[in-house]
Amino acid sequence: MKTLLRLLSKIDRPGHFTWLAALFFMAFAPAAMAADIKLEAESGTRNGVTVASSMAGYSGTGYVQGFDNSFAKNVKFTFNLPAAGIYELSIRYATPSGEKGYVLEVNGQQSSGMFTNVTGFGTAQGGMFSLPAGANTITLGGGWGFYFIDFINLASANIPLPAKPPKTLSDANATVSTKNLFSYLVDIYGSKVLAGQQEINELQEIDYVRTHTGKDPAVGSYDLIEYSPSRIQYGSNPAGFSERAIAWAKKDQGRGIISLMWHWNAPTDLINQSPDKLWWSGFYTRATTFNFAAALADKNGANYQLLLRDIDAIAVELKKFQAQDIPVLWRPLHEAAGGWFWWGAQGAGPFKELWKLMYDRLTNHHQLHNLIWVYTAERAKPEWYPGDAYVDIVGIDIYENTAVASNLSGQWTELQNLFNGKKLVTLSETGNLPNPEYIRTFKTWWSWFAVWPGAEYTRKQPTSLLHAVFNDPDVITLDELPDWRKSGAVTGSALEQALSQLEVYPNPANGTHLTMKTMARSPMKATVGLYDAKGAKVTEVTAQLVSGQNQVRLPLRQVPAGIYVLSIRKGNEQVCRKVVVKK
């Protein structure tokens, strides 16, 4: 090593220095990196659980068993970290009685996850956590229970930005507006998140959000549930719900983005018994005996024709949006792998067949070319995925029973492992507002989020949090949407295309400096400036950007609190980002 250091000290030719320095770090840096921290379950503090060793393949002196649905039965780890940082947490577990859920609490912040069914011991990704130096506490238990825990592992995390997928829709005949909307979603992926809100007939949640934030969501999410023929047979009246969604989409020069889902009441065989199997809950597996696998197997049968009848009824509504040149983020057959909806009750194979039937019926038979197909995934269940040819975006629905919203990095990481660079990933439903600080820290750049409506969800969010999220500089609302129908409206300039992975942090900023980081395709000289709400220049630096990674720092010591615009200029072109400064 001393010989190599002497060589490095004598080299003054940049190319040689870079090569030898790289050799040095490849050879010796791993030894200096922090080692993983392994927390054996049998060494933790056990509450209502016991150590066992009868199942082979465990680490250490045993594993912990006896977990059930109560979080009171848990194993608790208290440990010291030598340095603060972001750590990736993984859990080695066993599920001898099938798939199970669990609850994880890290320094008081709860999250939940799933242990898939494995033979022997397997490993689950628990997510990423920002941990301080010194004492830390992790507790694991509850969920669905009845699993074994071998150990928890913590490793220093290197979090990449998500890779952008191709701007190619599954429908080659998609309308121009639909293609341009998808292009816009790809352009902002990894740097901004679209604010969304789920709407239902009885409530006016978008109005509620506007009242408490001064903003409309960028994505209005609506449900075609009442158009299900079996609901209409019982007297359901949609009362122009599609027209209401269309009217919202036309706000602000028609820039509103529409998402449509369909809680599909089973076409027939509704149980219609109280208390929880009445006709209006016929989308639940518990409320119907309809066997769609059998219906799909008999294409000449009456039940197969009922499937087509129902899809055709929804096509009537979707055509209203196409007639108004409104693209739709179309999210049917959601949460199938959970099994609680009838379209998931017969397993992955029949579900995928039903998805493909609907895709063909709407796209080819009804010539609906305004649909962007959004598949709602379940964690670590790729066998349910219909296939790239039938899906444009992958979403996940997350409801965590916790007062403090988790960072959702575990769910994000699992989907990125399956779809990074292939599909956009979105938070299609959530019970809690995502925290923008977590999004920036853990790079969980969901394409959009949509909070479920009602007293248990949207209206349970603190109004201060609702206002903060919808006014965050990295959360896009309706008033901030560009005219995405025009090709190149977002990244039309050569400068925007030349600067990829553009990040501005911290944002909101409350320190002495603001940092702009970007990847430049080629060397260039640019001016980076900060401007106040009136357009007056606050501070400015000239930067010589190199090909590759660049960082530019702007001083903030004398900058008062407020909303600013960061401008990167080259000649007559500029790229802008909104920045919030807090003091």
Residue type, 152: I
How do residues 502-542 score in pLDDT, each as one tens digit? 888 888 888 888 999 988 889 999 999 998 867 788 999 99
Q: How confident is the model at residue 104 (pLDDT cuts 50, 70, 90)?
A: very high
How do residues 172-206 score in pLDDT, each as one tens digit? 999 999 999 999 999 999 999 999 999 986 679 99
Q: Any idea which architecture 37-156 has in CATH?
A: Sandwich (2.60)
Q: Quick check: 571 pLDDT over 90?
A: no
Determine the pLDDT at residue 404.
59
How do residues 431-465 score in pLDDT, each as one tens digit? 999 999 999 999 999 999 999 999 999 999 999 99
Q: Quick check: 110 pLDDT over 50?
A: yes
Tell which wins on pLDDT, 500 or 416. Answer: 416
Q: Any idea which architecture 494-581 has in CATH?
A: Sandwich (2.60)
Q: How confident is the model at residue 402 (pLDDT cuts 50, 70, 90)?
A: low
Would you list the domain boundaries of the chain? 2-32, 37-156, 176-480, 494-581
Q: How confident is the model at residue 251 (pLDDT cuts 50, 70, 90)?
A: confident
Q: Quick check: 4 pLDDT over 50?
A: no
Give the contacts of 259 (CB within 8 A, at least 6 positions apart). Answer: 196, 219, 220, 221, 222, 328, 329, 331, 374, 428, 448, 450
Is the pTM above the cut of 0.75?
yes
How do residues 454-497 score in pLDDT, each as one tens digit? 999 999 999 999 999 999 989 999 999 999 988 654 544 578 77
CA atoms within 13 A on the CB side of 241: 25
Determine the pLDDT at residue 173.
96
> Rounded to the nearest 5 degrees, what angle is found at the Cα of 243, between the Cα atoms of 237 and 249?
140
- Average of per-residue pLDDT values in the chain: 89
Do 390 and 363 form a contact (C-beta atoms < 8 A)?
no
Q: C-alpha 50: how far from its chain's center?
A: 36
Q: Quick check: 18 pLDDT over 60?
A: no
Cα 168 from Cα 517, distance rounded (Å) = 28
Rounded to an integer, the average pLDDT of 312-316 is: 98
Determine the pLDDT at residue 17.
31
Cα 504 from Cα 409, distance rounded (Å) = 21
Q: How confident is the model at residue 19 (pLDDT cuts 50, 70, 90)?
A: very low
The answer to which of 205-219, 248-262, 394-408, 483-497 has the lowest mean pLDDT is: 483-497
Give the contacts of 345 (CB within 8 A, at least 6 positions apart). Answer: 285, 292, 339
Rounded to an integer, the average pLDDT of 228-253 is: 94
Q: Any idea which architecture 176-480 has in CATH?
A: Alpha-Beta Barrel (3.20)
Tell which wins on pLDDT, 86 or 23. Answer: 86
The answer to which of 190-194, 268-272, 563-567 has the lowest mean pLDDT is: 563-567
**What's the token pair of residue 306?**
């009922």
Cα 492 from Cα 484, distance rounded (Å) = 11
Cα 46 from Cα 149, distance rounded (Å) = 12
Let me know if 308 is exposed, middle or buried by CB neighbors in 10 A (0-12, 13-18, 19+).
Answer: middle
Determine the pLDDT at residue 426.
98
Rounded to an integer, the average pLDDT of 380-391 is: 94
Determine the pLDDT at residue 574.
78
Proportion of the chain above pLDDT 70, given as a percent: 91
Q: How confident is the model at residue 362 (pLDDT cuts 50, 70, 90)?
A: very high
Q: Quick check: 119 pLDDT over 60?
A: yes
**What's the token pair of residue 333?**
């057959």
Determine the pLDDT at residue 378.
84
Proportion of the chain above pLDDT 90, given as a percent: 74
Cα 185 from Cα 182, distance rounded (Å) = 5
Determine the pLDDT at residue 106.
95
Determine the pLDDT at residue 34.
59
Q: How confident is the model at residue 316 (pLDDT cuts 50, 70, 90)?
A: very high
Closest CA to 227 of 310, 329, 327, 330: 310
Let me know if 273 is exposed, middle or buried by CB neighbors in 10 A (0-12, 13-18, 19+).
Answer: exposed
Cα 542 from Cα 443, distance rounded (Å) = 28
The answer to which of 5-19, 86-100, 353-367, 387-401 has the lowest mean pLDDT is: 5-19
Q: Quick check: 235 pLDDT over 60?
A: yes
Determine the pLDDT at residue 33.
44
How do residues 340-350 score in pLDDT, each as one tens digit? 999 999 999 99
Determine the pLDDT at residue 334.
98
Rounded to an integer, the average pLDDT of 537-558 is: 91
Distances (CA, A) of 441 to 110, 161, 438, 504, 516: 17, 11, 5, 12, 15
Q: Quick check: 231 pLDDT over 90?
A: yes
Q: Quick check: 291 pLDDT over 50?
A: yes
Q: How confident is the model at residue 8 (pLDDT cuts 50, 70, 90)?
A: very low
The answer to which of 1-5, 61-65, 122-126 has the lowest mean pLDDT is: 1-5
Determine the pLDDT at residue 498.
82
Tell which wins on pLDDT, 494 or 413. Answer: 413
Strand segments (E) across 354-403: 371-376, 393-398
Q: Which residues are catalytic?
A: 335, 429
